[in-house]
A and B are shown apart, each in its own frame.
Chain A
Amino acid sequence: MRAFEYSRATSPAEAAAIVGRTPGARFIAGGTNLLDLMKLEIETPAHLVDINGLGFDRIEETAEGGLRIGALVRNTDLAADKRVRRDYGLLSRALLAGASGQLRNKATTAGNLLQRTRCPYFYDGNQPCNKRKAGSGCAAIGGFSRNHGVVGTSEACIATHPSDMAVAMQALDATVETVQPDGTKRAIPMADFHRLPGDTPQVETALQPGELITAVTLPKPAGGTHIYRKVRDRSSYAFALISVGVVVQADGTGRVALGGVAHRPWRIAAADAALPRGSKAAADILLAGARTTHENAFKLPLVERTLAAALAEAKEAQA
């Protein structure tokens, strides 16, 4: 871990301004992923701005009938919130499927969105990785790729986004609220927040340097039955091989988002529309153009079968 200056921010504008003007400065909140990466010098900030004192730790109802979740709301608190459990069960379920109780107690809503990939080559500084060192190559292509992406991949990167929560946020049409170093605020729909790797896998989100997430908002409840199905090798405390989040209405319409298959939470409007026609129809659209390796080809049938399981579970719940 490289040496760094540490300071505690007292206002969002100040925090964004410091990070905006200080080369190599980063925000730190929960720290559960950033410190992990700093120990390996995959992240090497020269200055950490602690934003835990900014007070973004409340969940408030919005005028539109939705929820505004402060960036610093811990995963445990978000999952346990009565309104979230009642109206956004998918989000609660996704959060509870992730990490461990200890990590959820620290990890924040914004930090969860900004988690970096768990690709083992990204984590090994001796190996080429375009995400870690632009232009160095991708060791996962042709290497151990069992848990890598199958859709939206590029010649530069086949990593996946590891978050469960982000899959739910995507399915629930959440919006990310930010403040930029110059004080400008903006709202980024989840659909535009995470990027595909393309030629620049090191650029993972739509955030500009110094831009600070202040909240994530949820539109008014979509109703329906919420199912989050995470598939992994061990029963808990593991990243997803794949995950499926669905919201299914009584008439069979709904939404579907996938985790563990791409560089970002994976949702396609046409697949939502195909949901009433069943898991195969929706999976075919979600996985169209998939490029698999010998090791991760199983993800294609697994997605379809897991989606079938989720739809069956929804049907059972509605009966």
Chain B
Amino acid sequence: MRMSVSLTVNGKPQSLDLDTRTTLLDALREHLKLTGSKKGCDHGQCGACTVIVEGRRINSCLTLAVMHEGDSITTIEGLGNPDDLHPMQAAFVKHDGYQCGYCTPGQICSAVAVLDEMKAGVPSHVTRDLEEKARFSTEELRERMSGNICRCGAYSNIIEAITEVAGKRA
């Protein structure tokens, strides 16, 4: 079964005619050839496919493209490019917050969204007092970033990169 869907990816309107089974991730990677979003597990168990949809980070492997009619999607390619890196991308380079690079786009999209979530007052598992706004800490970052697995083990550096960006923002 095929269906058409229109969405906006990195600010650019896109219309696609897709098999209804196509995930948002495969629509990005195979149809729009935006391969920055990665397929690490295809089951929501690793976070490599993280993109920002309507301002929220999600696993693009666990959602159908046709469910995103009219949605606005930001992928790693929309955050910055090698000549004009987003501050989070630049911080990952500076702090060596990656090794093989495969989980990296997902980590960066997630990190950008995490800082917005904290700003918006979304609590986490490690937030001490539910009735207060979560305070910025490495413990908060680690918990909130835990949906992004890095098998190369760059976690310690990733947290330093995000901390630097958060500090610059504050």
Contacts and interface: CB of A to CB of B under 8 A. Distances in A.
A76 interface: yes
17 contacts: A3-B1, A3-B20, A36-B43, A50-B67, A52-B67, A85-B123, A85-B131, A93-B125, A96-B124, A100-B47, A100-B147, A101-B57, A101-B113, A101-B147, A102-B147, A105-B58, A235-B143
B116 to A, nearest CB: 11
A7 B6 CA distance: 15
Top 4 nearest A-B pairs by Cβ distance?
A100-B147, A236-B146, A85-B130, A6-B20
Interface of A: 1, 3-6, 8, 28, 31-32, 35-36, 39, 48, 50, 52, 76, 79-80, 85-86, 89, 92-93, 96-97, 99-103, 105-106, 235-237
B143 A236 contact: yes
Contacts of B142: 236
B23 interface: yes
Given A5-B20, A28-B67, A36-B62, A103 B123 contact: no
B104 interface: no
Interface of A is mostly: helix
A157 B99 CA distance: 43
B42 interface: yes
A5 B2 CA distance: 9
Nearest to B109: A102
B89 interface: no
A106 B59 contact: yes
B158 interface: no
A99 B64 CA distance: 19
Contact of B146 (A6, A8, A92, A100): A100
Contacts of A8: 69
A149 B89 CA distance: 44
Interface string B20-62: 1101000000000000000000111001001000001111001
A126 B123 CA distance: 41
A50 to B, nearest CB: 6
Contact of B47 (A50, A96, A102): A102
Contacts of B131: 85-86
A238 to B, nearest CB: 9
A105 B20 contact: no
Nearest to B66: A6
Interface in B6-29: 19-21, 23
